[in-house]
């Protein structure tokens, strides 16, 4: 595992990927509840397994894009 992260461009992509996932998990939960309960009083609901799957797939795709763009725009890779 250490050899995989030895390259600075790989490290930037991996760190950016996981930071994005961590921060956006909470943001996506808030957006999920705003969309679900927009016409009601304040509620907080945990997504169903099907909704979690959709949220996680979207987050992984955008986290990968975030990592690659961070690497690209800091001129550390490509």
Contact in structure between 18 and 67 (CB atoms under 8 Å): no
Whole-Å CA distances, 58 to 1, 7, 51, 54: 26, 27, 11, 6
Summarised one tens digit per residue, pLDDT across range 33-58 is 888 777 777 778 888 899 899 988 98
pLDDT reported for residue 6: 65
Q: Count CB-CB contacts under 10 A for residue 62.
A: 14
Report the distance separating Cα 70 and Cα 74, nearest Å.
Answer: 6
Helix axes 49-73, 8-36, angle to 10 degrees: 140
Q: What is the pTM of this model?
A: 0.67
Predicted confidence at residue 53, as pLDDT, reads 93
């Amino acid at each position: 595992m250490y050899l995989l992260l030895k390259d600075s461009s790989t490290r930037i992509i991996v760190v950016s990927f996981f930071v994005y996932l961590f921060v956006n998990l909470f943001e996506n939960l808030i957006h999920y509840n705003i969309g679900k309960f927009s016409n009601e009083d304040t509620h907080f609901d945990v997504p169903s397994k099907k909704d979690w799957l959709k949220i996680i797939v979207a987050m992984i795709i955008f986290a990968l894009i975030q990592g690659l763009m961070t690497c690209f725009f800091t001129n550390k890779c490509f």
